[in-house]
């Protein structure tokens, strides 16, 4: 059995998976607001889960937003600022008596989908998370690839390729640079596209709903969004050549996103008819916490990121 914990800006989800991927138990809690509370809550959640399933010393994996340094065991998360520079990995290892591998939530997402989701059995999987921000991760033969700095697959903070006049001016990204993929493909990016076309204010969810009901401006906004997404993913096909690309996050539910993008990326990649499969995530919002559990298994097999003291 493996414990997975997914710590977000408003809630912490924790579960126990068995080796087959069956969920045995799940807990949720509001996200703490201080460092000491974070260590205390995570320790308490592990103890409660272990008590409930009658097992001690279970492997634990932790997924968080932001950049997780796999060597230092530190986290840089905008919406969890009290973690900045703190030795979370080492402190959790001390509190629990075992190392706790940590990874970015997008890495957990792609690991979940590569093990038993939309990318199961695919040798190389790229995970694209389209939501409030744009995240990405890579899995090879069912194991997450982290990189030297823990940022492997972070395509959201690379420039949008093959820009056109219809894309509008390059916007400032939260990372501090202009023209990043995130500025176009996040929820606020889709809203920006629609607002430019209509001079009205609408959210990404509203744009999707209006497109379904026949609103022409919303349909045009989706067309521009899908064009940008196809270009961004075609560049992934060119540099990574994955067998499967799995899309998740709130915007992965946009109408006909898979069919439209699969057509649009033809002619953009180096191969005229890409064999790369484009699919929606199977586990949806649960991919992060499930991936954290598989992260614990991966670390136990000797190929996960270090989480703290041995």
pTM: 0.91
Q: What is the mean pLDDT of the chain?
A: 90
**pLDDT for the residue numbered 120:** 94
Residue ranges, CATH 3.30.420.40, the chain: 2-107+286-300, 120-281
Query: Looking at the predicted structure, is the pLDDT value of residue 309 above 70?
Result: no
Residue % of the chain over a pLDDT of 90: 66
Q: Which residue has the higher pLDDT, 77 or 63?
A: 63
- What would the DSSP string read from start to end of the chain? -EEEEEE-SSEEEEEEE-TTS-EEEEEEEEPPSSHHHHHHHHHHHHHHHHHHHT-SS--EEEEESSEEETTTTEEE-TT-GGGBT--HHHHHHHHHTS---EEEHHHHHHHHHHHHSTTTT-SEEEEEEESSSEEEEEEETTEEE--TTS-TT-GGGSBPSS--GGG-SPPBPTTS-BSBHHHHHSHHHHHHHHHHHHSS---HHHHHHHHHTT-HHHHHHHHHHHHHHHHHHHHHHHHH--SEEEEESGGGGSTTHHHHHHHHTTTTSSSSS---EEEE-SSGGGHHHHHHHHHHHHHHTT-SPP-S--
Residue % of the chain over a pLDDT of 70: 97
Query: Looking at the predicted structure, is the pLDDT value of residue 303 above 80?
Result: no
Query: Looking at the predicted structure, is the pLDDT value of residue 106 above 90?
Result: yes
- CA-nearest of 79, 8, 92, 36 to 288 is 8
**pLDDT for the residue numbered 305:** 66
CATH 3.30.420.40 describes domain 120-281: yes
What would the pLDDT profile of 236-282 be if each residue is shown by its tens digit? 999 999 999 999 999 999 989 999 999 999 888 888 788 999 999 99
117's CB contacts (< 8 A; 6+ apart) are 246, 281, 282, 283, 287
**pLDDT for the residue numbered 306:** 54
- The rounded distance, in Å, linking the Cα atoms of 251 and 184 is 12
Query: Looking at the predicted structure, is the pLDDT value of residue 35 above 90?
Result: yes
**pLDDT for the residue numbered 58:** 94
What would the pLDDT profile of 137-171 be if each residue is shown by its tens digit? 999 999 999 888 888 999 999 999 999 998 888 99
Kindly provide the b/e burial profile for residues 212-239, where b requires at least 16 CB atoms within 10 angstroms of the residue's own CB.
Answer: eeebebbebbbebbbbbbbbbbbbbbee
Task: Report the top-level CATH class of 2-107+286-300.
Answer: alpha beta
Query: Looking at the predicted structure, is the pLDDT value of residue 310 above 50?
Result: no
Query: Looking at the predicted structure, is the pLDDT value of residue 226 above 70?
Result: yes
Query: Looking at the predicted structure, is the pLDDT value of residue 224 above 90?
Result: yes
């Amino acid at each position: 059995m493996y414990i997975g914990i997914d710590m977000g800006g408003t809630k912490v989800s924790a579960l126990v998976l068995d080796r087959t991927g069956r969920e045995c138990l799940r807990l949720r809690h509001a996200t703490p607001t201080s460092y000491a509370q974070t260590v205390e809550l995570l320790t308490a959640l592990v103890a409660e889960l272990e008590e409930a399933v009658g097992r001690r010393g279970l492997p634990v994996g932790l997924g968080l937003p932001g950049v997780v340094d796999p060597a230092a065991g530190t986290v840089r998360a905008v919406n969890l600022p009290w973690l900045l520079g703190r030795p979370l990995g080492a402190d959790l290892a001390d509190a629990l008596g075992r190392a706790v591998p940590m990874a970015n939530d997008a890495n957990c997402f792609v690991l979940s989908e590569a093990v038993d989701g939309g990318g199961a059995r695919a040798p190389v999987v790229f995970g694209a998370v389209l939501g409030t921000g744009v995240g990405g991760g890579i899995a090879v033969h069912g194991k997450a690839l982290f990189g030297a700095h823990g940022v492997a697959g972070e395509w959201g903070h690379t420039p949008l390729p093959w820009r056109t006049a219809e894309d509008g001016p390059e916007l400032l990204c939260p990372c501090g640079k202009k023209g990043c993929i995130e500025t176009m493909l996040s929820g606020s990016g889709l809203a920006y596209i629609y607002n430019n076309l209509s001079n009205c204010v609408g959210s990404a969810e509203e744009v999707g709903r209006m497109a379904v009901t026949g609103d022409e401006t919303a349909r045009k906004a989706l067309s521009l969004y899908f064009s940008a997404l196809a270009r961004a993913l075609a560049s992934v096909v060119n540099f990574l050549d994955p067998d499967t690309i799995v899309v998740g996050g709130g915007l992965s539910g946009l109408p006909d996103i898979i069919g439209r993008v699969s057509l649009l990326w033809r002619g953009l990649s180096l191969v005229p008819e890409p064999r790369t499969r484009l699919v929606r995530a199977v586990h949806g919002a649960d991919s992060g916490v499930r991936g954290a559990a598989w992260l614990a298994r991966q670390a136990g097999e000797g190929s996960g990121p270090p989480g703290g003291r041995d």
